[in-house]
Amino acid sequence: MKSLEDLKKIRNEYAAKLAMREHHNDYHIIVGMGTCGIAAGARKIVNKFAEELANKNLYNVSLTISGCMGECDLEPMVEIINAQGEKVICVKVTEDDVTKIVEETIIGGKPVTCLTKENL
């Protein structure tokens, strides 16, 4: 390593990796992973989220999984909570929805537009 710039390059690369161990408040995404969720493909959804967030360098989001959310025939279900604590529960989420949520809401800051129990 020859200069401070080289050091900062490594810093930025690894700060991203470490971000998961910090406290996040911007967005919290919870994917339901009960047996019903898994059967409906929730694991793919979780991994799609992880991939999208990593590809787009979004580290202000905490992505976790939970048990059954209760509406088993609407799985995979994803709960999205913003910094103000407002919740939206998306139902029958597909991998395309994941891309849309990440681009429109997490990056764009717009409200989530997805299938919910109400507009189904």
Q: By C-beta, is 63 or 89 nearer to other proteins?
A: 63
Instruction: Let me know: does 60 contact 27? Beta carbons within 8 Å.
Output: yes
Q: What is the total count of residues that contact other proteins (CB under 8 A)? A: 38
- Closest to other proteins by CB, 78 vs 112, is 78
Give the shortest CB-119-to-other proteins separation in angstroms: 25
Site for other proteins in 8-67 (CB under 8 A): 8, 10-11, 13-18, 20-21, 23-24, 31-35, 38, 46-47, 49-51, 53-55, 62-67
Which tokens hold the place of 90? 């998306």
- Pick from 40, 105, 103, 30: which is nearest to 76 by CA? 40
Q: Which residues contact 36 (CB under 8 A, 6 or more apart)?
A: 68, 72, 73, 75
In a 3-state reduction of DSSP, which class is residue 52? Answer: helix
Q: Which stretches of the chain bind other proteins, using CB under 8 A?
A: 1-4, 7-8, 10-11, 13-18, 20-21, 23-24, 31-35, 38, 46-47, 49-51, 53-55, 62-67
